[in-house]
Amino acid sequence: MNNSIPLAERVRPKTLDEYVGQQHLLQPGASLRKALDAGIIPSMILWGPPGVGKTTLALLIANQLKRPFYTLSAINAGVKDIREIIAKAEQANLFQKSGGAILFIDEIHRFSKSQQDSLLGAVEKGTLTLIGATTENPSFEVISALLSRCQVYTLEHHSKDDLETLLKKSIAEDEIMSQKEIELREVNALLRLSGGDARKLLNIFELVVGTYTNSKVVITDDVVNSAAQQNISLYDKDGEQHYDIISAFIKSIRGSDPNAAVYWLARMVEGGEDPKFIARRLMILASEDIGLANPTALILANNCFQAVNVIGWPESRIILSQCAIYLANSPKGNASYMAISLAQEEVQKSGNLGVPLHLRNAPTKLMKELGYGEDYKYAHNGEGNFVNQEYLPKEISGKSFFNAGSSAKEKEVEENLKARFKGKY
């Protein structure tokens, strides 16, 4: 056994039955498993966080279907590389009876539009079955023409049971680990430091085991923390720190502290975080935590996102800083966020209530005869472009979803509602 091969690679499963996790896709009767068992799979995008088995799953799919398999990394591949693989696939397919070749592209979100465009013809004709892996939302990062030709499968974080299973399998089945006497006395530190990333979990585990000079190994939280302290980066944009620091960043802005917001932003900038990820979170915050208290906040956050898309690092840090400071100093209000949450709760509770007849569209004669649209009052015919009529299903008439917080703008909206609808809401 080659000791230089990382443990995560040594214990990579050889069959789907050895694969740990993603049972919502792979258990008998699940969508992807049914396709694999039938021997026919669509082009697909595997979307999920790091270390959940996207690459491993792609390899196992190709192995099970016994198809020619090609792989590219979007970090260092270009259009020329894609064309070369398409040419090879066309040749291979002449001698392949069980289906076309499979091309796996890791980090497909890093491909430019022109690179993604170069895949369309081969995917459309079936020359290649594309399997793309991404940690980013495909709706943002994969062009619509390619996305429409692919099935998106969402891979989930490994559960605690999944991660413990991987550790135990490694101890029992790996040729090197199985020669040691390893006791998993505590695993919380391993699980916490891994952030749910199976690859990182096994890397840390191997690092800790390597600190022992004899064959007897006792894994405790203190041992793991001590061994890993000098070997884990301060900011891992794919790991636990990624989520902790963006959480601190958002909460600092929500808490109106621009100094803390800029500090956490600097941590992400120095760690090489994707600027578009930060900008997207600022757009969400501008609506969720500021909203009607300052409607300009969303406009600025959206402009920030657009500018970041055009500029990129390092100058994007200035734009992100401006936006973060503005949002932190803006008045806060979450009435819009709470309103849609309450409305969704009502829909889930009361179901699909009928649309009042006077609000229904009446494009046909029959619909008009049935009373669709009858008695509807056109708002612009009323004084101040307002007519007091019912807009909710009768079962929930008068139900209020919008409730103002302490911000002046939200209180103004609430007072207008009360004045117009005579205290109905």
| 235 has a pLDDT exceeding 50 | no
Architecture of domain 240-329: Up-down Bundle (1.20)
CATH topology of domain 160-228: Helicase, Ruva Protein; domain 3 (1.10.8)
| 151 has a pLDDT exceeding 70 | yes
Q: What dotted CATH number matches 22-154?
A: 3.40.50.300
The rounded distance, in Å, linking the Cα atoms of 362 and 366 is 8
96 compared with 1, residue with greater pLDDT: 96
Give the pLDDT confidence of 186-200 residue by residue, as tens digits: 888 888 877 777 888
3-class DSSP state of 268: helix
pLDDT number for residue 202:
86
pLDDT number for residue 3:
59
The rounded distance, in Å, linking the Cα atoms of 276 and 274 is 5
| Chain center to CA of 54 | 14
- The token pair that represents 191 in the structure block: 């699980």
| 110 has a pLDDT exceeding 60 | yes
The rounded distance, in Å, linking the Cα atoms of 167 and 231 is 20
Q: Which of 130, 141, 162, 147 is nearest to 24 (CA)?
A: 162
- The token pair that represents 93 in the structure block: 């397919």
3-class DSSP state of 425: coil
Find the angle CA(199)-CA(128)-CA(70) to the nearest 5 degrees: 40
94 compared with 26, residue with greater pLDDT: 26
Report domain extents, the chain: 22-154, 160-228, 240-329, 353-420
- Average pLDDT, stretch 77-81? 79
- Average pLDDT in the chain: 82
The rounded distance, in Å, linking the Cα atoms of 406 and 254 is 14
283 compared with 157, residue with greater pLDDT: 283
Please list, in sequence order, all residues whose beta carbon lies within 8 angstroms of the beta carbon of residue 346, skipping any fewer than 6 positions away.
Answer: 396, 399, 401
In which element (H, E) is residue 104 found? strand 101-106
* Whether the predicted model's global pTM rises above the 0.95 cut: no
The rounded distance, in Å, linking the Cα atoms of 229 and 225 is 6
